[in-house]
Amino acid sequence: MENGQTYNLAIIGFGGMGSYHGELIDEVERIRVTGVYDLVDYRMQLAETRGYKTYESLNAVLSDETVDIVVIATPNDIHKELSIQALRAGKHVVCEKPVTINSSDLLDIMKVSEEEGRIFMVHQNRRWDEDFLIIKDIFEKRKVGEVFHLESRVQGANGIPGDWRQLKAYGGGMLLDWGVHLLDQLLLLTDSKIESVAASLSSILGTEVDDGFTSHIRFKNGLTALIEVGTTNYIKLPRWYVKGLEGTVVIVDWDLSGEIVKNNPDVSKIEPVPIQAGRGLTKTMAPPSEESTLRLPLDRVGDSGQDFYSNVVAVIEGVTEPAVKNEEVYRVLVLIETIFEAAETNSVIHKEL
């Protein structure tokens, strides 16, 4: 393929995420959405209103020689089947997360991708979320010294969406839906191996899949992490809470409200003044003095999810590495399987991951 060409892309599955991919790609140079296939009539009608060609079948998509890239945005249980079919048809493939329900299925897809000489990439789009980029910047620049603990969570009070996400056979549940994002972000923050995993799944809503989960993860370098997803939280806890040896970071919510509180290097340590705490006094739990600490705003880190598709083009043309490597995605899936195991056995799993 010649440099500078425009790549034609077809979307399989035009629900919420499929239509989102269309909007995202419309802003990217050198890729254009030329067609859509979905089993649901009104989604095909929506695609037509956006000027996209609609295909009468999956085979029609895969046999169209003008299609260079296929996006898989269907329920999770058929990602493997569709991805392999598309790769065998000579298409490059972008697949929505979670790429597969289990890690072994991803290995099968990766094998076919290598055999066919076609690119396979997973759309882990929340690697470009600004809240995560702010935390990543804090880690890399050691803005609060060495980080020894972090908490990452998303919480709402609306339950699980009333569709296939409530069904186990389709790969539903919050661990696979939101956990795959938070765990992917976590593993990007440190190059240390995991030492142990403990977890519990929430089943408050009575569905056949988890409506939330909590996982405690310890890394070999000493970092500990609490990863939490909830769908029955009427008052949410902070999106991020990060502790370093020199300070603490909090990001409250998606609006990026929050701050950094850290020690003031220009002031010697000042002993705290005891405070009244309930019926007693405490110096241990008193806040640090204003003179000995700095309260700093979060440094914004601008970026765009469009970088994902620019990277797809560059990877196809062999000029760069994938922004989302399949080996990284595989590690996340193995971690998810370990969390399920820890929750089901009510035990701490000691495993190097």
Q: In this structure, what CATH number is given to the domain that contains residue 100? A: 3.40.50.720
Task: Read off φ and ψ for residue 37, nearest 5 degrees.
Answer: -135, 130
**Residue among 184, 194, 193 nearest 332 (CA):** 184
CA dihedral 105, 110, 112, 118 (to 10 degrees): 140
Are residue 17 and residue 68 in the same domain, yes or no? yes
Tokens matching residue 95: 């697949």
Q: Name which of 36-40, 107-111, 263-267 the model is least confident about.
A: 263-267
Q: Which residues contact 137 (CB under 8 A, 6 or more apart)?
A: 143, 299, 301
The whole-number average pLDDT for the span 231-245 is: 98
Are residue 213 and residue 339 in the same domain, yes or no? yes
The whole-number average pLDDT for the span 30-53 is: 96
291: left (phi over 0), alpha (psi -120 to 50) or beta: alpha
Domain containing 228 equals: 127-256+298-304+335-350
**Interval 261-318: pLDDT, tens:** 999 999 988 888 899 999 999 999 998 888 899 999 999 987 655 589 999 999 999 9
Query: E strand or H helix at 247, and its extent?
Result: strand 247-251
pLDDT of residue 1: 43
> How would residue 3 be classed by pLDDT, with cut points 50, 70 and 90?
low
Out of 106, 123, 140, pick the residue that ends a domain. 123
Is the per-residue pLDDT at 79 higher than 70?
Answer: yes
Q: Could you write out the DSSP letters of every residue in 106-137?
A: HHHHHHHHHHHT--EEEE-GGGG-HHHHHHHH
